[in-house]
Structure 1
Amino acid sequence: MPLEPIGPEEAVELYLADRESELAQATQYAHSSRLGHFVRWCDEQDIENMNELTGRTLHRYRLWRRRDGNLAPPSEKSQMDTLRVFIRWCGTIDAVPVDLWPKVVSPSLAKGEHARDVMLDTEVAEKILEYLATYEYASARHVTMLLIWHALLRRGAVRALDVDDYDPQEMSLEVCHRPEMGTPIKNKFEGERFIALNDETCAVLDAWLEKRRPDTTDEYGRSPLVSTPQGRVHLTTVQSYIYSVTRPCELKRECPHDRSIDTCDAATERSAASGCPSSLSPHAVRRGAITHWLNSDVPEGVVSARANVSSAVLSEHYDRRTRREKMEQRRKYLNQV
């Protein structure tokens, strides 16, 4: 079949529209963001027709993207993996030769290289929760921190919860995938699960619902568990809660980066908290929580089910125990054999 002319931007739009039903919202956004750099590069190179792409031009894009974004190998790999999938799809609509996609080179990573080590330490997490329980009991930040640290929820799951998903009698949460009403979750229906809660978390949720939760609904008439005066909490708001509460200066008026706390935007404005080099993302808090559970001798299968990650992903991306720590945990079972 002869190739049919199509511009890079239009091709990306068609690709994203075609995959909208099969990709989770966060994945769709990630693909859109990564391919946006490709469209920008094509514009700079005056490439107006996807038919013009060759293995050589794609290699030049890889080098440009590496320099332009100052990318580490794991980031470069994710960028090029997405591009390869896109180019392969383009072959199905006669935008590029069907044998072009294998020429998109992605770096090979050593085992564990793409698993980040940034996480919230257990001792720090306990101090944060103690601070919140003392000064912001049952606040939105307190609730969000507990849901991620204790329930091991992703930020999307925190946002997706409704008031009715919390059962105070059963002391549990039900995590549901509701994409038709704007709250998809990671792994879609396979990510749905019940989560048991401890007394402390239930007490905080009860107080939040009784005294502090803004009585608002979302555009579908649902009552979000974590709400704001405007309705359901946004993903970026969940992030800002965690970035702000993990700043070192939040717990004590000290800055490890020799900044003036009174004039530092990251210290004085919660919306700018991510600008603090020591603040952590919800993902880093969740990673620390998973490691904490594993270090507490909770079986991997239990942690895997609660956090909704496979054993392989749990081991590679979340389990930050050292080999010595794992050995010492196994030692406890020696006398039982």
Structure 2
Amino acid sequence: MEESTRSEQPAHRVPRRAVLRTALAAGTGGFLAAACGPGGDDDASPFTGERRTGEHVLAVKVDNVAAARPQTGLQHADIVYTEQVEAGLSRIVAVFASDIPATVGPVRSARESDIELLRQFDRPALAFSGVQGKLLPTLEAAPVLLLSPGELSDGYERDPGRRAPHNLYLKARRAERAADDASAPRDIGFRFGAAPKGGRATDQETVRYPAARTTFTWSADRRRWLVAMDGAPARSRGEGRLAPATVVIQYVTVRSSRFHDSSGSVTPYTETVGSGDALVLRDGKEYEARWSRPSANGGTTFTEAEGGRRLRFARGQVWIALVERKG
């Protein structure tokens, strides 16, 4: 399989800054305008706070069971979401924009709650392996550019060294080229900058799903949170340990959806519109926070639990664990 490398902007594309100026001149509204400088820098990515922004939002459903590990390409994602699926396991939605790797995977199927989660990105592209027939009309009607193997037959490949269904990989740069109509990165509520005052020193935090767990351990040397899954170090194939700059544990409502898998297990629905508590990990500290997303087409704001000030993230990859709320 092709090795993942840092991608370069194609010469024929319009610079992101010019795209924003054109959109603002056309009066596309304040929400897009707010994407400029979420960390106080007009050129910063609204997803990472770093200088590279990218031109299209590409979300990929990534397998997260033991047979799928180590995954490929996750260290290049701007945002990594984990969510509960059938049998109490977890699955990943990886969001790419600033750095499109050669390969991402293994790719798995979409879920109903992905539609709500991805609405905040406007009209992103979504790469997924398939979806059950009853959900397909709802997914096709959603504001998402669908990139399944049926729509992008030359955008996927099988790894002969792995067993199905854990061996389907996305040719992510091919997918990004095919996603020319996908939305550009915009403000989804994140803010970046210096660490807030206060917080509690911590070197480890574990997120638990009914049949899976993810542990984040602070590395002072790397200034990152090292990820472990089910007790084993989480690595990206050929590129080392997964290590986001900021971890958000977002407590949400997880309820039963209308669907179930082939074995009869009910598919959970993770609600990401509403409000609730969160825990933000950055720079070796944890901060009690609140999250709020009043509508599906708006972003999610994170504020300090005391005082209500916007809580700034560390610049770099953001990992958001969507976990069933306490109580």
More strand by share: 2
Q: Scaled by the length of structure 1, what TM-score is found?
A: 0.27
More helix by share: 1
Rg larger for: 1
Q: Scaled by the length of structure 2, what TM-score is found?
A: 0.28
Q: Relative contact order (C-alpha < 8 Å, sep 6+): which is higher?
A: 2
